[in-house]
Amino acid sequence: MSKLALITGGAGNLGRAVVKKFYESGYRIVMSQEPGQKLDKAFLNDFPEVERHEVDVTHENDAERFVHHTIKTYERIDSAVLLVGGFAMGGIDDTNEDALDKMIRLNFKSAYFIARPIFKQMLLQESGNLIFIGARPALEPKAGRLTVAYALSKSLLFRLAEMLNAEGQAKNVNSTVIVPSVIDTPINRASMPTADFATWIKPEDLAETIYFVCSDTGMKWRETVLKVYNRA
């Protein structure tokens, strides 16, 4: 029986690369997309067997229903790649309660509400990989000073992964935070037109790293944080 990967944010730039890698590697894929989000024909034609759900994963009940439906249908989840998130500039002077709440909702709650029921299922099946996407500013205070809400919200993922690993290691359930530098996407190129794009990490290369961590070889990995910076 094919392994199953649950991927949130599968229609984004990184999401498409991750879906492609797991799909071409023989995984069954269940993915979430934003409610009302339209997918182009190329995506639909390239991945006809991918099961797609419109889910606002920042709402706990919606996220849990999505996960429970997947478990009921397929009985297990081998890998979960949690890609939903958001970015905002802003130093300490700009970071009020609304700014902080928005980033925590997009970057932490979107992952926590999905990870919680999946983790419980993986403990029962005694195997599984949870992949979170971290951020360099959450690790480096100098970089985070201009993105305070974003960096703080992403930093919570590191603590969550450590806690899950403390409980999951005995059951062969691994939680890994992949930390990219700058992902080479059209949006990032447009916002930083003078940057050296060759130093950035391509979505396809990041997807390869995520897939390796979820592979039989990567399952032996016991490092919570994996930095994928290229030359940036």
Q: What are the pLDDT digits (tens) for 180-227? A: 998 999 989 998 899 999 999 999 999 999 999 999 888 888 789 999
- Round to whole Å and give the CA distance between 214 and 223: 13
- C-alpha dihedral (103, 63, 84, 33), degrees to nearest 10: -130
Q: Which of 51-55, 139-143, 214-218 has the highest mean pLDDT?
A: 51-55
What's the CA gap between 90 and 77, in Å, rounded? 37
To the question of pTM greater than 0.85 for the whole model, the response is yes
The residue segments making up the domain with residue 200 are 4-228
Q: Which residue has the higher pLDDT, 116 or 44?
A: 116
Instruction: Reduce the DSSP state of residue 197 to 3 states and report it.
Output: helix
Across the range 74-78, mean pLDDT stands at 97
Looking at residue 130, its pLDDT comes to: 98
Helix (H) or strand (E) holding 32, with range, is strand 28-33
Percent of the chain predicted with pLDDT > 70: 100
* pLDDT over threshold 90, residue 143: no
Tell whether the model's pLDDT for residue 1 goes beyond 80.
no
The string of pLDDT tens digits covering residues 151-174 is 999 999 999 999 999 999 999 999
What's the pLDDT score for residue 65? Answer: 98
Q: Band the pLDDT of 123: cuts 50, 70, 90.
A: very high
Q: How many domains does the chain have?
A: 1
The pLDDT value recorded for residue 92 is: 96
**pLDDT-based confidence at 89, cuts 50/70/90?**
very high
Please tell me the distance from the alpha carbon of residue 98 to that of residue 205, in angstroms, as a whole number.
34
**Residue 138 pLDDT:** 96
pLDDT value of position 38: 86
| Residue with tokens 């989840």, as numbered in its chain | 77
| Angle separating helix axes 60-74 and 110-125, nearest 10 degrees | 30
Q: What is the CATH number of the domain that holds 172?
A: 3.40.50.720
Average confidence score pLDDT of the chain: 95
